[in-house]
Amino acid sequence: MDDIIVTNIEMIPGMRVTSHLGMVQGNTVRTKHAGRDIMAGLKNLVGGELVGYTELLTESRQEATDRMIEQAKAIGANAVLNVRYSTSSVTAGASELFVYGTAVVVEHDHGGVHSAAPEAL
């Protein structure tokens, strides 16, 4: 089970949940980098995107998501539904990025029709 479906919706069209395994989560706490702070300070003078912080948040989101996926795989899930992200300040200059969702096992839904030999139908 190398692939896992991760989505922010409650159900996946064409799939049905066969097992509910519970909540899974991942997080990371990151601090600002001195170089990024200096560049951010300069950018505040002229305006625009704080690229260093955007990159930091992107890396943090990916790391937290990877941790959640590993937790889901460890309990046998092949999908994580209803995924949500949250951030909070831990201390001056450090923030936590937290992600959570519901680990489930899903399978393709064939509309209630089960394969059977023609004679059985």
From first to last of its 121 residues, the chain has per-residue pLDDT tens of 469 999 999 999 999 999 999 999 999 998 876 555 555 555 555 667 777 778 888 999 999 999 999 999 999 999 999 999 999 988 877 889 999 999 999 999 987 655 444 444 4
The predicted structure's pLDDT at residue 21:
98
Residue 97 tokens read as 């990025």
Give the pLDDT score at 92: 77
State which amino acid sits at residue 117.
A
Question: Top-level CATH class of 5-120?
Answer: alpha beta
State the burial class of residue 63 (Cβ atoms within 10 Å of its Cβ: 0-12, 13-18, 19+).
Answer: middle
Q: Classify 94 as helix, strand or coil.
A: strand
Give the model's pLDDT for residue 31. 83
